[in-house]
Chains A and B, each alone.
Chain A
Amino acid sequence: MVKQDIQNQHQHWQSQQKQKVKTLAVYTALWLVATALLAFGPKYLWDFNALFSIIAAIVYCVTGTAMILANRAHLRSLDELQQKIQSEAMALSLGVGLVFACGYEILHAVRLLNFEPAIAHVVVVMCVTYLIGVVKGEVKYR
């Protein structure tokens, strides 16, 4: 294979990767909007009308599914080292999230926390852990 063909193939692979990242960003943004709509729409936009809330829930499910599929496509477009970094970060995030969520709930149950645990706190912990995992992986395999 001539060098020009190899370069073209590589550029095609890189542009595909960029496209997958853009698609993931778009679906994540749409899911965020759908989440906000489902969370605040009933109270501030349609006065708890059941039909609109059901539509908002369906939109939430559709955009969430699209985001998951876009994330899978993005992961599949990565090379094997990048996939390893991602899987290690996700494993760390899942583990920390699980341990944190269980501990958080138990601490509330045994009255060591005087406020109601919120799922949003677990999500934040998981997101921060995932980011730390990705940075750790990038440094480790630099």
Chain B
Amino acid sequence: MNNRLKVLRAERDMTQADLAMALQVSRQTINAIEKGKFDPSLPLAFKIARLFELAIEEIFFEN
């Protein structure tokens, strides 16, 4: 699954560590999601969507 987490994070001037902190996960998890190596669970995807005030489909999309 692809995502535009990196772009959204950059737009808000957030580091991976900032985002990890806001989502209560490790920085490694943010990095793996951004690189498409790891797909987050639905609860975490909702948490990300809420943080960026977007719908899940606006952040994550199929290849």
Contacts and interface: CB of A to CB of B under 8 A. Distances in A.
Interface in A1-32: 6-7, 9-10, 13
A86 B29 CA distance: 14
Q: Is the interface of A mostly helix, strand, loop or mixed?
A: helix
A116 interface: no
Contacts of B20: 10
Interface residues of B, number: 15
A10 B38 contact: no
Interface string A83-118: 010000000000000000000000000000000000
B12 to A, nearest CB: 12
A141 B32 contact: yes
A80 B22 contact: no
Contacts of A84: 38
Given A140-B37, A141-B37, A141-B38, A81 B28 contact: yes
A10 B28 CA distance: 14
Interface of B: 20-22, 24-26, 28-29, 31-32, 37-38, 40-41, 44
